[in-house]
């Protein structure tokens, strides 16, 4: 069971956490956080191969029947994805909603650089407090797994869409609070022990996140992530998924020397091999995907 959230206090904690992360790692909307597996160039290349598109924006745009006049980015952060949709002309106007004021400031600055500042509205606060609107698109980019009530959030997103409107998500859908099951993590721990020391951090055993520490840092982190797909199927019916896997890579990344993965030939080669193994295990069902793109539509 998930403990009840103290919305005012815990959302303030979450906002402060992401204010700090944005200030530390994000520049012009792009992540420079080497501890994040999806930020690595090898992960970007693997995503392109799996999606058959240059990036997630192109993958989704190819599935839109036409221009969306009005959209809302739920927990948009620095809004990299949303601003790309605006710049491409796929969306006319975006309401950008996030609890982190620093993230929204970064999004606004990037929008100015891209020449789309007149096509955004900033909303600092909880997505569930957004005014109901006749939206043609709701986007969740690494934000739906922060919903403390996933079913209510998905239903709210459904209800603010006009009939025929789309929901897009790029999400972590793995175990809540990163409490990985032994049948997944034990395999990765064995792999960690077999790695060359220059690829690992100083720990003899692979460190695993403590769910209590995860909640303390950000009370909304992966609080009901395992309910995302069931909630979407219940609210929308048909759902299109494009798994980008990530279970094995995500679990192992915690204990790797991130600078080595970026700056050394051996590290870069290992990142490529790791992501290939990760994809194969995910496709086989041995270690199901923790990350996926999602597209669905209100009937």
Pick from 55, 46, 54: nearest CA to 283: 46
pLDDT value of residue 3: 41
Q: Domain map of the chain by residue range?
A: 7-177+223-246+288-297
pTM over 0.75: yes
CATH match of 7-177+223-246+288-297 with 3.40.50.150: yes
Pick from 191, 211, 208: nearest CA to 199: 191
pLDDT value of residue 22: 59
Q: How far is CA 150 from CA 106, 145, 295, in A?
A: 27, 8, 16
Q: How far apart are CA 287 and CA 247, in angstroms?
A: 7
Pick from 137, 130, 87: nearest CA to 107: 87
Q: How far apart are CA 48 and CA 45, in angstroms?
A: 5
Residues of the chain with pLDDT under 70: 1-31
**110's tokens:** 């990037």
């Amino acid at each position: 069971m998930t403990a009840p959230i103290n919305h005012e206090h815990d959302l303030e904690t979450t906002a402060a956490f992401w204010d700090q992360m944005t200030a530390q790692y994000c520049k012009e909307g792009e992540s420079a956080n080497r501890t994040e597996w999806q930020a690595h160039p090898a992960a970007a290349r693997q995503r392109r191969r799996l999606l058959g598109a240059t990036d997630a924006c192109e993958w989704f745009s190819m599935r839109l029947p036409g221009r969306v006049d009005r959209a809302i980015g739920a927990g948009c952060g620095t809004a990299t994805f949303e601003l790309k949709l605006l710049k491409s002309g796929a969306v006319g106007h975006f309401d950008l909603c996030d609890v982190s004021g620093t993230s929204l400031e970064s999004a606004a600055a990037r929008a100015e650089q891209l020449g789309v500042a007149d096509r955004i509205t900033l909303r600092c606060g909880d997505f569930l407090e957004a005014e109901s609107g006749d939206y043609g698109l709701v986007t969740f980019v690494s934000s739906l797994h922060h919903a403390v009530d996933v079913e209510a959030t998905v239903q709210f997103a459904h209800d603010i869409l006009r009939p025929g409107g789309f929901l897009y998500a790029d999400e972590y859908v793995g175990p809540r609070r990163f409490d990985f099951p032994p049948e997944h993590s034990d395999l990765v721990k064995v792999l960690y022990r077999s790695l060359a020391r220059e690829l690992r951090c100083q720990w003899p055993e692979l460190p695993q996140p403590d769910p209590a520490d995860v909640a303390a840092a950000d009370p909304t982190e992966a609080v009901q992530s395992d309910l995302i797909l069931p909630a979407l199927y219940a609210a929308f019916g048909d759902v299109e998924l494009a798994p980008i896997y990530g279970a094995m890579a995500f679990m192992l990344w915690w204990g790797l020397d991130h600078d080595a993965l970026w700056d050394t030939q051996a590290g870069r080669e290992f990142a490529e091999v790791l992501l290939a193994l990760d994809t194969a295990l995910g496709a086989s069902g041995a270690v199901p995907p923790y990350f996926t793109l999602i597209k669905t539509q209100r009937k």
